[in-house]
Amino acid sequence: MNTEQDLVDLNHRIGEAEKNRNENYLTEILADDLVFRRANGDIAFKQDYLQGIRDPDNTYSRLESSDIEAKIRDHVAVVTLRVNAAGMRGGSPFASVFHNTRVFRKAPESRYGWQCCV
């Protein structure tokens, strides 16, 4: 997994894993030191994200990733994408299109070859 297409595929799988609550995949593809800014401005870490996946009040009726572009330089990749999502958050309905930027680093110990760190 060393091409831009591999990273596009990984990012599609991240969306599918989030929608289907596949915590095992997410635990492996997300770096332990993952940190990112949520759409509401909050800072979140890997465990915050996984806790949200486990929360039964967080569901998706739609989660589609599109316009995924990956650029690799040395041992780092930057992936941009649009996420069209709808569902429930904390019992409240939501629907929006999000513009995400994810940073991956090569991780030879991972079977996917990459881990998302930002």
pLDDT along the chain (118 residues), means of 10: 88 97 97 94 96 95 97 97 96 95 95 95
Q: Report how far residue 22's alpha carbon sits from residue 36's, in angstroms, rounded to the nearest whole number.
A: 20
Domain spans of the chain, in order of start: 4-116
Predicted local distance difference test score (pLDDT) of residue 39: 87
Predicted local distance difference test score (pLDDT) of residue 66: 97
Q: Which residues pair with 35 in a beta bridge?
A: 45
Q: Which residues pair with 65 in a beta bridge?
A: 83
pTM of the model: 0.91
CATH topology of domain 4-116: Nuclear Transport Factor 2; Chain: A, (3.10.450)
Largest interatomic CA distance in the chain: 43
Predicted local distance difference test score (pLDDT) of residue 1: 58
Q: Report how far residue 27's alpha carbon sits from residue 35's, in angstroms, rounded to the nearest whole number.
A: 14
